Amino acid sequence: MTPSTNGRMTRHTRRQAIHAGIGLGTGMMLNQGAMRPVLAQATPEASSGANDGYANAAALVDAAWVEDHRTDPSMVVVGFMPLDEFERAHIPGSAQIDYPELEVIDTSDASIADWRDEVGRLLGDLGITPDSTVVTYDEGTLFAARLWWILRYLGHENVTVLNGGMPAWRELGIEPAAGAAGPVAAPVPYSGDPQPDRLAQMQEVKSILEDSAVAIVDARTPQEYVDGHIPGAVNLNYPLNALPDPPKLWKPADELLAMYEEIGVTPDLYVIPYCSTGVRSAVTAFTLHLIGYEDVALYTGSWLEWGADPDTPKAEGDQA
């Protein structure tokens, strides 16, 4: 901790310490990220079963919980998938949106501000308010984590991911709905409370490439990584966060922790995941939150922004 001007001690996230040049010794206290009070009625609880042990277990819910609560007026269930997939089969009562509608690959301040406005309109069109309990699911891609990250960046804490997505819900044996989502009564723009510590912008990433207190995680395939990556990044392909067989549940907490620690991504570091457009790496950001990593900021511009800029350094080849 460091003294503030009023004599009190100030808490710092590791990210704030890096940018302020504060030493990262044992005397420093990290921000524990206390959650704001949840106002919605259908507050998610940890899923039961083999995957207990997560530090932030309420970030995942199982299919039975969703089925038990999906008619709660405070809850909005969102299928994060292409429209044609959604219209073939979805959880009854779901809204629908796909990741291209929420994409942002220019992380300049002006672009992020414009993107927030557009995202707020889209979320309002889905019937989401800051007091909603949001459950996001996919068709087994794990990409529901992208909507989770967007809402978390906007300060929406009461958001959770359906573990296993639509394949897990089908295992309940309940008839899915088909066709388009129903209309939302009187949609209004979503007004969030942006949390800048959850977003990494290109200029910040450029400034900390040599910092030993930072871990950059490339969530793309090994071949994409070999073809070109951010210098110093380590590669861990995003599907490895889940079990390989459908419904592709998230791996147990101890297995995930060991997997990340094996590549040098430890909980004491400030971690920046990226991929090509920030969708696959949102799975990484979600997983790290799930197992208790405190300082994680998604580089949403990812390789599409980084690789197109002639002034950014690039590396090729396998990781050392």
For residue 53, CA distances in Å to 63, 164, 200 come to: 18, 17, 28
For residue 304, CA distances in Å to 87, 110, 200, 227, 229 come to: 30, 18, 14, 13, 11
Asked if 267 and 293 touch (Cβ cutoff 8 Å), the reply is yes
Coil, strand, or helix at residue 123? helix
Q: Return the axis-axis angle of helices 280-290 and 253-262, rounded to nearest 10°.
A: 110
Residue 237, Cβ density class (10 Å: 0-12 exposed, 13-18 middle, ≥19 buried): middle
**Catalytic pick from 61, 63, 271, 275?**
275
Active site residue 294: no
Give yes or no for a cis peptide into 252 (omega within 30° of 0). Answer: no
Rounding to the nearest 10 degrees, give the CA dihedral for residues 36, 73, 181, 247. Answer: 60
Asked if 217 and 233 touch (Cβ cutoff 8 Å), the reply is yes
Residue 264, Cβ density class (10 Å: 0-12 exposed, 13-18 middle, ≥19 buried): exposed
Question: What residues contact residue 79 under an 8 Å CB cut-off, 6+ apart?
Answer: 85, 86, 90, 91, 94, 95, 96, 97, 137, 138, 166, 181
Q: What is the DSSP string of 235-290?
A: E--GGGGB-SSTT-PBPPHHHHHHHHHHTT--TTSEEEEE-SSSSHHHHHHHHHHH
Rounding to the nearest 10 degrees, give the CA dihedral for residues 164, 151, 287, 291. Answer: -110
Angstrom distance (rounded) from CA 119 to CA 102: 6
Catalytic positions, please?
A: 275
